Amino acid sequence: MKKIIFSIILMLMPLGMAFAQDVVGKWKLEDGTAIVEVYKSGDAFNGKIVWLANPTEADGSPAVDSNNPDKSLRSRKLIGLNMLSGLKADGGEYSGGKIYDPGNGKTYNCSMKVEGKVLKVRGSLDKKGLIGRTMDWFRVE
């Protein structure tokens, strides 16, 4: 009996790993202003900005994190900036992470889940996700 249970567990393990990987890839924000690449690092999922619709400032220099509350970080470039961090796979969802909004310089609790070619990203003020909003991001092929 133990051998049968062990065999079933071994057969199901790759399915769980493949499911968790569905989130990995490039996603375009619903407003079309950026593409974020979600990647796995250790047991956490993170995301960095890899494309911007407006990649430069008015003077032609690269767009920077000008709204960051930490003045020492306001000169860092937006392309390459990690805006998602610490999300952990939890069944069909990813939770326990943070999302940084360079538009207002604020960081929120974050959870997300994949529904087909749409990534539902929820930023919230509370850890349970009750007070916040959900954005649709679309997979970039």
Q: What is the domain range of residue 59? A: 2-140
Residue 47 to residue 36: CA distance in whole angstroms: 6
**Measuring CA to CA, which residue among 48, 17, 25, 20 is closest to residue 138?**
25
pLDDT in tens, 18-68: 444 589 999 999 999 999 999 999 999 999 999 999 999 999 999 999 999
Q: How much is the pTM? A: 0.82
The structural domain count of the chain equals: 1
What are the tokens at 81?
């900036």
What's 128's domain CATH number? 2.40.128.520
| pLDDT score at 88 | 97
Mean pLDDT of 96-120: 95
